[in-house]
């Protein structure tokens, strides 16, 4: 079975893989909402939420560290929350000198920063498990079933497909560059300036070729009756087991949310 490197889905036969996409998407959205509503500094609640993530990871049979390793992509975005360390008022923990500025790191600021980091980390882990156990077409169908606007679903679907188009074009460009920049020593030829100029030309050519190819694909879709709606077979009703799983998940998340506010 061929799997594109950009495709996050991992084939499996686990109970989580077999679960209906509507149930998984609903529970993941509710989990993210529960995480976002968790009070700042409710550390026991974060432990409960992380335990829930580990339980879902175990049910996916992908390994407990699968989502853990991929969730660190959230780290670069945490730089946006760094100003909270010095802009939140409270007891001072440390002073940092930055040029001519003296910044004070406060305890409430550190608490808020760590809470945001943990919330983002937990939410990303659950999203990783969703995309790893559910093909994106099934997620798009589930989004339409849950009432997400048709235009938004169509944009997400086309964006996902055109990512692979751009990736294929980029691979062709890289192979062409390697074939034309070889030297006798076996290393790529050219200076850093030359490589930068070639890379810029490749990006411009990639945009033009990707745009031209997307236009051809779009016209082919119109010729086959595409009118902005992604059609699929009628969805079967949820089974009794899936209804029980959905109800149990909602009850657990609601109880956990009440518990976190009680602890907070």
pLDDT of residue 71: 83
pLDDT of residue 3: 46
Mean pLDDT to the nearest integer, 24-28: 94
pLDDT of residue 7: 61
- Rounded alpha-carbon distances, angstroms, from residue 92 to 22, 45, 107, 111, 190: 47, 26, 6, 12, 53
% of the chain with per-residue pLDDT over 90: 19
Same domain, 212 and 161: yes
- The verdict on residue 7 lying in a domain is no
Q: 95 is in which domain, residue-wise?
A: 15-147+234-263
Same domain, 58 and 185: no
pLDDT of residue 230: 67
- The verdict on residue 26 lying in a domain is yes
> Pairing mode, if any, of strands 92-98 and 101-106?
antiparallel
Same domain, 189 and 208: yes
Question: Among all chains, which residue has been given the structure tokens 């077409």?
Answer: 137
- The verdict on residue 178 lying in a domain is yes
- The verdict on residue 228 lying in a domain is no
Highest mean pLDDT among 2-16, 71-85, 104-118, 216-230: 104-118
Same domain, 135 and 165: no
Same domain, 61 and 87: yes
Residue 124 sits at the vertex; the CA angle it makes with 123 and 127, to the nearest 5 degrees, is 90
Reply yes or no on whether the pLDDT at 181 is more than 70: no
pLDDT of residue 243: 92
Mean pLDDT to the nearest integer, 177-182: 69
Adjacent-strand bridge partners of 92: 106
Q: Is residue 49 a contact partner of residue 122, using CB atoms and an 8 Å limit?
A: yes
Q: What's the chain's average pLDDT?
A: 82
Same domain, 23 and 52: yes
Q: How confident is the model at residue 186 (pLDDT cuts 50, 70, 90)?
A: very low
Reply yes or no on whether the pLDDT at 168 is more than 70: yes
- Kindly tell me the burial class for residue 32, based on how many C-beta atoms sit within 10 Å of its own C-beta (0-12, 13-18, 19 or more): middle
- The verdict on residue 10 lying in a domain is no
Highest mean pLDDT among 32-41, 73-82, 232-241: 32-41
Same domain, 117 and 177: no
Same domain, 43 and 139: yes
- The verdict on residue 199 lying in a domain is yes
Adjacent-strand bridge partners of 105: 94
Reply yes or no on whether the pLDDT at 160 is more than 90: no
Same domain, 111 and 175: no
pLDDT of residue 28: 94
Counted domains in the chain: 2
Same domain, 50 and 109: yes
Same domain, 118 and 155: no
pLDDT of residue 187: 52
Q: How confident is the model at residue 188 (pLDDT cuts 50, 70, 90)?
A: low
Mean pLDDT to the nearest integer, 237-247: 90
Dihedral in degrees, nearest 10, Cα atoms 118, 120, 121, 125: 140
pLDDT digits (tens, 9 = 90+) for 106-123: 888 888 999 999 999 999
- The verdict on residue 159 lying in a domain is yes
Same domain, 251 and 183: no
pLDDT digits (tens, 9 = 90+) for 190-211: 677 777 777 777 788 878 877 8
> Which has the closest alpha carbon to 116: 82, 139, 88, 150?
82
Reply yes or no on whether the pLDDT at 189 is more than 60: no
Reply yes or no on whether the pLDDT at 245 is more than 80: yes
Please give the model's pTM, rounded to 2 decimal places: 0.78
pLDDT of residue 164: 76
Q: How confident is the model at residue 250 (pLDDT cuts 50, 70, 90)?
A: very high
């Amino acid at each position: 079975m061929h799997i594109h490197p950009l495709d996050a889905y991992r084939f499996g036969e686990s109970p989580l893989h077999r679960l209906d996409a509507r149930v998984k998407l609903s529970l993941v959205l509710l989990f993210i909402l529960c995480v976002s509503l968790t009070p700042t500094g409710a550390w026991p609640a974060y432990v409960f939420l992380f335990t829930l993530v580990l339980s879902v990871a175990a049910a996916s049979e992908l390994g407990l560290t699968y989502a853990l390793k991929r969730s660190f992509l959230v780290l670069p975005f945490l730089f946006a929350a760094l100003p909270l360390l010095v802009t939140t008022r409270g007891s001072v923990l440390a002073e940092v000198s930055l040029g001519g500025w003296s910044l004070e790191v406060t305890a409430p600021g550190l608490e808020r920063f760590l809470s945001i980091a943990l919330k983002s980390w937990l939410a990303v882990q659950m999203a990783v498990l969703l995309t790893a156990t559910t093909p994106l077409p099934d997620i798009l169908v589930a989004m339409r079933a849950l009432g997400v606007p048709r235009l938004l679903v169509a944009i997400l679907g086309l964006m996902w497909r055109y990512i692979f188009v751009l990736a294929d074009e980029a691979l062709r460009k890289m192979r062409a560059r390697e074939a034309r920049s070889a030297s006798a020593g076996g290393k790529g030829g050219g200076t850093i300036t030359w490589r930068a100029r070639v890379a810029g030309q490749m990006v411009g050519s990639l945009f033009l070729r990707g745009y031209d190819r997307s236009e051809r694909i779009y016209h082919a879709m119109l010729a086959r009756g595409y009118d902005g709606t992604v059609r699929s077979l009628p969805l079967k009703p949820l089974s009794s087991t899936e209804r029980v799983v959905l109800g149990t998940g909602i009850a657990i998340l609601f109880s956990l949310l009440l518990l976190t506010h009680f602890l907070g």
